[in-house]
Amino acid sequence: MPSSTRPPARPSRPSHRSTLSLQKTEITIHVYDLLPPGKLSNTLWALGTSLLHSGVVLNNKEYAYGGHDRPGLTGVYWTKPLTLPPGGTFRTEILHGFTLATEAEIDSIIRRASEEFLGTSYNLLTKNCNHFTSYLCEKLTGRPGPGWLNRAASIGVALPCVVPREWIEAPDFETHNRGGGGGGLLEGEESGDEYYGEGSRMLRGSDEVPRLVGQEGRREEEEHGITVTKGKGKARDEEGRVLPRAERAPTS
């Protein structure tokens, strides 16, 4: 009787599920409070009506949206995650979900978002950084970002006569330490149209300075990583409201 032989073992292949798991990209939202640390900001945070800035973290880059006065130029930019916006205090991190999109597909989604969110289209109440966060999250996961991020803006649209000015126009100062503290303009800095002053640049590494999506190559040529074209007066949104420093995008 011939001896039974086993067929040679086939090399193991990763299952379809495990292959997909290797492609998952985490989508995280970072939330910053734009009011000075204190009783007012803590009360509004507890009520869910704070003046907030948000960014979407993908592959170790935090994407956000701001306004400027350069026609045809995107307002979408990225920084190193947890780089504080001027005057901002870090509040919380939200794990929004995951995407199975490839790196090329993610880049394409971000590029389309950058074309949709131009700097001159920025509006503090109807098209701000939190609208961008919601848009990008929905494109990546099928679910928009949390609605409470923009509750103050929604109230401002519905009841413009009763919303405190501080809810839509944050004070024009810089806080340089995470988690709050007594921030202020550095000596010699102006609160004009520049996104960051010289003093702020020295406090930040080259990977912490905001870079417009699609403009990264130009930035590599700059010694300090940023050169902002100074406009006439302060940057304003499409309805003429002065933009808080945290809501201004770099313009080069």
- The residues that are catalytic are 53, 129
At 245, give phi and psi (nearest 5°): -55, -35
Q: How many CB atoms lie within 10 A of CB 188?
A: 8
